[in-house]
Amino acid sequence: MSRLPALGIRSRKDGAAPQHSRSRSQRAAIAMGAAVLVLAPVLSSAQAGAGTPSIGSVTFSGQVAGTTSLLQSVPGQFGTTLHGCQVGQESTQIIINVPNGNVILNGHKTAVKGAEITLNVTKVGDTEHSTPTTQSGVVYEFVVGSKTYSWSATSGTVSTKAKGNGGAFNVGLVPTGSKPGGIPAQSGGATKPVHATGSFSSCHAWI
């Protein structure tokens, strides 16, 4: 859809103004052994703040379409700032925060918020394959109005580098509730598959 403050950047773990530390569908996906990739809302560098460095990009096709930059830092709630990429307390989880903005959803430009890309792997510094039942993969999640949209990886690969030195993913995702053990409510507004290809050059370490 877990951060500590660092260098003046307030994170999700600190309990103060999280965007959504771990979403309902993420918790459900983890509970059923699924890997999660959650995408944060899409925002241009100018919207996120002039001069914010890019650390990569993600391209989507399917129910969600388009390309967005991944930024070194993004605005959070209540005036806070979040790391664009954060290694979780468990080093095998990486959370990418994408700025609020617009995506092409069901063929229409749509404002989204609270989106993340969460990568779960079994070993950092390797390339792992996603299947409907493996723990390695991705969940893509965001909010439109009061409705959550959630997709989980069932195919493709996730690659990570040690010590937060970036990674890449090329995965096919389906509505989260359609994975083995899932329930329809976990998908929210997600009804069709999405393909996501992206890479990032760095990720802030857990403190």
Q: Which pLDDT score is estimated for 145?
A: 92
**pLDDT score of 51 more than 80:** no
Query: Which pLDDT value is given to residue 80?
Result: 85
pLDDT class for 98, splitting at 50, 70, 90? confident
Q: How many other β-carbons are positioned within 10 Å of the β-carbon of residue 173?
A: 29
pLDDT average, residue stretch 184-199: 96
> For residue range 150-173, what is the model confidence (pLDDT) as tens digits?
999 999 999 999 888 999 999 999
Given a cut of 50, whether residue 59 has pLDDT beyond it is yes
Mean pLDDT computed over 64-83 = 89
How is 147-202 classified by DSSP, letter by letter? EEEEEEEEEEEEEE-GGG--EEEEEEEEEGGGSTT--GGGGBT--S-EEEEEEES-
Nearest by Cα to 97 from 179, 11, 15 = 11
Residues 39, 41, 43, 47: is their CA dihedral positive or negative? negative
| Residue 174 reports pLDDT greater than 90 | yes
Q: What is the structure's pLDDT at 181?
A: 83
Of 18-32, 46-60, 71-85, 162-176, where does mean pLDDT reach its minimum? 18-32
Q: From CA 200, how far away is CA 185, in angstroms rounded?
A: 31
Q: Does residue 76 carry a pLDDT above 60?
A: yes
Q: What is the pLDDT of residues 105-154, one digit of tens each?
A: 999 999 999 899 999 999 999 999 998 887 778 999 999 999 999 999 99
Distances in Å between the alpha carbon of 107 and those of 65, 90, 95? 8, 37, 27
Q: Residues of 183-201 as b/e, b for ≥16 C-beta within 10 angstroms?
A: eeebbbbbeebbbbebebb
pTM value surpassing 0.85: no
Lowest mean pLDDT among 2-6, 73-77, 164-168: 2-6
**Which residues, in sequence order, are CB contacts of 135 under 8 Å at separation 6+?**
33, 34, 35, 120, 121, 122
Domain regions of the chain by residue span: 12-200
Check: CB of residue 11 under 8 Å from CB of residue 20: no
